[in-house]
Amino acid sequence: MSKLLNHRIYIIVGILGICVVTAFFVRSCFSSRQIHATVSPLDVEPKHPIFFADSTKNAEQWLWEFGNGDSSPLPKGEYVYEEAGKYQIRLTVDGKLEKKFIVNVHLSQNDADNELIKIVAPATGIQGEYIIFRGEGSSKEWRWEFGETGAIDAREKTAIYQYSEPGTYEVQLSTEETKYPVRHTINITPEYSDGDTLDIESIIGNDIREKLQAIVDQKPFKTNYDYVLNTYLCRDPNTLVLINNTKKNDFYSYCMGLRIIGRKRTVIEKVLVDINANIDCIVKLIVIQIDTE
C-alpha cells in the first residue's frame, strides 16, 4: 500500500515538474520574441536625423516604415524628415512582430516665429465640386470665410467647400497669429458637362471612389483594398481618411468599416486626394459619403 502511495506521489511530482518546465519554456520563448528597438530622439527639427535600431533576439528581417511612404529594411540606421509634422514609425520584425513609435518633427522657435500663415488652394474651381483649402503655418485657431455665405464656414486647418454659384470669390483665413485675414481669390466657373476633361486628381479620386463603393457593395475586399493601397497610397495602411470633413480613420480601419454589413446603405459620393509631390504618394483621402437606412 505504501509503495503504491509513493508511486502516486512520484507521478504527481513528475507531472508538476513537467508543468513547471513547460511553463518556463513557453515563457522564455515568448519573452525572447519581444521586440527590443529604439528610436531617438522622438522630438526633432526638420533636416535633423533620428536614429533607429533593433536588437530583437534571432531577428532576420526588418521593415521600418517612417509614416510618409519611406521605409528601410536595415536593422539600424538614421533617417531625416524634411517637413514638420507628427509621424508614426512602425517596425515589423520577421513579418510578424510589430512596434510603433511617434516622432514629433517641429520647427525651431525662430523658424516658427518667422513662418507666415498661407493659404494653399486652387485659383479656379467648378460650381458644385468639392474644393480643398489648406492652411500652412502654426496656429491653434483657423477661421475660414469662403466669400459666399458672409459667415465663418469652417474652423479646421484643412477645409472643404462647395460653391453653389459661379463667380469670383475672395477667401479669407483668420488665425490667432495674424492681425488681418490672409486672402486668396478663386474663380468658380459654371458646372461642367460630362464631356469636359477631368484633371489627374479627379481621375484618381473617381478611381478610388469606385473601389471603395465596390467594398461597400460586398465585392472582393482584398482585390479592391490592395489596389488602392498599392497604386496610390505607397502601401501605407495608416494613410489618413477624412470622412465628411468631421470624422477620421486610418485607411485600413475605414475600409474594414465599409466591409461590415449593417442596416445602413453607404454611397460614396466623392473622393478628393491630397498628394505629396515630394514622394508622389497620397497622404490624405477626403471622402464625401451618405449613409442611409
pLDDT, averaged per 10 consecutive residues of the chain (293 residues), comes to 54 64 54 82 91 93 90 94 86 92 80 74 85 86 94 90 93 92 92 56 90 91 92 90 86 88 72 77 88 66
Residue 228 lies in a domain: yes
Q: What pLDDT does 59 receive?
A: 93
**Which residues does 243 contact at the CB level (< 8 Å), separation at least 6?**
249, 254, 287, 289
- Amino acid of residue 287: V
Q: What pLDDT does 289 receive?
A: 87
- CA-based nearest residue to 244, from 213, 275, 268: 268
Residue 19 lies in a domain: no
- CA-based nearest residue to 149, from 134, 160, 165: 165
Same domain for 161 and 145, yes or no, is: yes
- Last residue of a domain, which of 110, 143, 172? 110
Which residues constitute the domain of residue 92? 37-110
Residue 23 lies in a domain: no
Strand 76-80 with 71-72, pairing: unpaired
Cell 459661379, residue located: 166
Same domain for 148 and 170, yes or no, is: yes
Residue 106 lies in a domain: yes
**Cα dihedral 226→95→64→252 (10° resolution):** 30
- Domain tally for the chain? 3
| Angle formed at CA 112 by CA 111 and CA 117, multiple of 5 degrees | 115
Q: What pLDDT does 8 receive?
A: 61
Same domain for 51 and 123, yes or no, is: no
Same domain for 89 and 130, yes or no, is: no
Rounded Cα distance between 184 and 122, Å, is 9
Same domain for 136 and 100, yes or no, is: no
- Last residue of a domain, which of 170, 189, 208? 189
Q: What pLDDT does 13 receive?
A: 56
| Domain at 263, CATH number | 3.10.450
Residue 250 lies in a domain: yes
Q: What pLDDT does 23 receive?
A: 57
- Last residue of a domain, which of 189, 212, 246? 189
Residue 29 lies in a domain: no
Q: What pLDDT does 125 receive?
A: 85
